Amino acid sequence: MNELELLKEWDAEAPPLTDAVRTRARFRLYQAMRAPAAAPTAVRRRPLLRIAVATLAAAAVTTTVVVAENTGTKPRTRTVSAATVLRGAAAEERRLERPIAPRDDQFLYAKEIIEETPVGGGRTKTYVDESWNSVDGTKKSYVSELGRAQWVPPDQPGQRAWPPRRWSQLKQLPTEPDKLSIALRDVTGKPDYSRPVKADDWPKVHTFLSGLLRAPVLPKGLRPAAFEALATVPGVEVLPGRTDVDGRAGIGIRYVGPPEAPWADGKQVLIFDAKTYQYLGMRDQREGKHAATTYEQWSYVAARGVVDRVGQRP
């Protein structure tokens, strides 16, 4: 019998797959295609920065932990790497993101929720920060940070910020992960895509990737590319058994790098859904005034979009 006829008839009564299932299936197939023929099962130690870049990227991908998986029968375990989580987050982001094309006279709106609790114990305080940033930087923006709101004057000639506030600058960043890492390494000049990222460049790349991921509104494809680029950074580690602010099971991703590098102490942890790898938010620590108190911080973006004026919401 023709094998194609058998294939058409196989499981014909089954309901069609959902978009989420299709996305995860494609991602797992991609992972299987990239995996070596005899992948090691042991957990590897974090690679040293002096090793060649190609070896560093490969070692970072294989840093793994074992997490519980509920299949509906009895719990079993599966091995998850930092690269698996971050590439899964990129796939989920591509499935969920919606393209936007703001006009120069509009504003990028974001609503961020931040919960802070003193490390030594005390009352949890919640901040609702809403911000309206001018798309082209020629108008006053209105931003809020930890409940303190203020007007920000228009950009001055030659003024730079990270992540970029101007949409035109964000649009210039490549959405290919490898090129994005190089562009961030050469962020102050013209990117040299013929020169690979070296070991000493990775802390800088991570610093700018972390800043970029904190931007609530990004052009289509840029956030997934940032997740995938982060998967190649040596020193990125996976932390199982984490939760978001609502207690949902999650997996943490943190960066541990050279002591002098920003965010190198591992206190900043990105949290992803344990099943879908959707990005949920970030756990961090903040020093209070005069470093008298340290706060555990949880933050996530509750709403984002494009509006015509300050005070308007999507």
Per-residue pLDDT tens over the stretch 211-254: 999 898 999 999 999 999 999 999 999 999 998 888 889 999 99
The pairs formed by 196-199 with CB atoms below 8 angstroms and a separation of 24 or more are: 196/53, 197/53, 198/53, 199/49, 199/50, 199/51, 199/52, 199/53, 199/56, 199/234
Which H or E element spans position 228? helix 222-230
Using a pLDDT cut of 90, give the percent of the chain over it. Answer: 58
- Give the span between the Cα atoms of 75 and 67, in whole angstroms: 10
- Give the span between the Cα atoms of 32 and 201, in whole angstroms: 29
- Give the span between the Cα atoms of 233 and 153, in whole angstroms: 35
Nearest in space to 298 (alpha carbons), one of 229, 239, 237, 252: 252
pLDDT at 172: 95
pLDDT at 244: 85
Confidence class for position 79, pLDDT limits 50, 70, 90: low
C-beta neighbour count of 106 within 10 angstroms: 22
Q: Is residue 165 a contact partner of residue 102, using CB atoms and an 8 Å limit?
A: no
Domain boundaries, the chain: 1-314
Residue in the block written with tokens 């919606």:
98
DSSP 242-275: EE-TT--EEEEEEEE--TTSTT-EEEEEEEEETT
Name the average pLDDT for the chain: 79
Task: Find the mean pLDDT for residues 5-16.
Answer: 39
3-state secondary structure of 73: coil
Q: Dig out the tokens for 75 from the structure.
A: 């719990």
- Give the span between the Cα atoms of 84 and 24, in whole angstroms: 11
Residue scoring higher pLDDT (57 or 271)? 271
Confidence class for position 304, pLDDT limits 50, 70, 90: very high
pLDDT at 18: 45
pLDDT at 28: 45
Does 38 score more than 60 pLDDT? no
Exposure string for 112-122, b = 16+ CB within 10 A, e = fewer: bbbbbeeeeee
Per-residue pLDDT tens over the stretch 101-153: 999 999 999 999 999 999 988 999 999 999 999 999 999 999 999 999 999 99
Task: Find the mean pLDDT for residues 260-266.
Answer: 77
Q: Using CA of residue 199, residue 201, residue 198, residue 251, what is the dihedral sign?
A: positive
pLDDT at 73: 47
Residue scoring higher pLDDT (50 or 181)? 181
3-state secondary structure of 246: coil
Q: Is residue 166 a contact partner of residue 215, using CB atoms and an 8 Å limit?
A: no
Does 209 score more than 70 pLDDT? yes
